[in-house]
Amino acid sequence: MMTARKLVKMAKKWPKECSKSCNERMANKGHFVVYTTDKNRFVIPLRYLNTSVFRELLRMSEDEFGLPTDGPITLPCDSSHMSYLINMVEQGLTN
């Protein structure tokens, strides 16, 4: 299972210095970036890591794709499913 601590540890390993194009792709403070299997980008608030649905998605991603060492986190769902899950979390329908 990927915990918030593991996610922070992975982020610290990424290069500290980035080009301007990299800065445009980075998330704001308090957020993290994930991609879906259809290559769509989502910026997710860190508080979503407290929900079981996102913790399970990250665990499934680790099982299916392994831990990313030099690339983005890819979740094992498409963008429509991800939008639905985000909507559920925002409405408080998941814990």
Residues 6+ away with beta carbon under 8 Å from 72: 33, 34, 35, 41
Asked whether residue 44 carries a pLDDT value surpassing 50, the answer given is yes
Structural domain contains residue 78: yes
> What pLDDT score does 19 carry?
43
Q: What's residue 73's pLDDT?
A: 92
At residue 42, the pLDDT reads 95
In a domain, 44, yes or no: yes
Instruction: Note whether residue 24 is domain-resident.
Output: yes
Position 47 in a domain: yes
Selection from 2, 19, 1 nearest residue 11 by Cα: 2
Task: Report helix angle 79-90 to 52-65, nearest 10.
Answer: 150
Q: Would 95 be classed as within a structural domain? A: no
50, part of any domain: yes
The structural domain count of the chain equals 1
CA 51 – CA 54 distance, rounded (Å): 6
According to the model, what pLDDT value does residue 93 have?
74
Domain hosting 76: range is 4-90
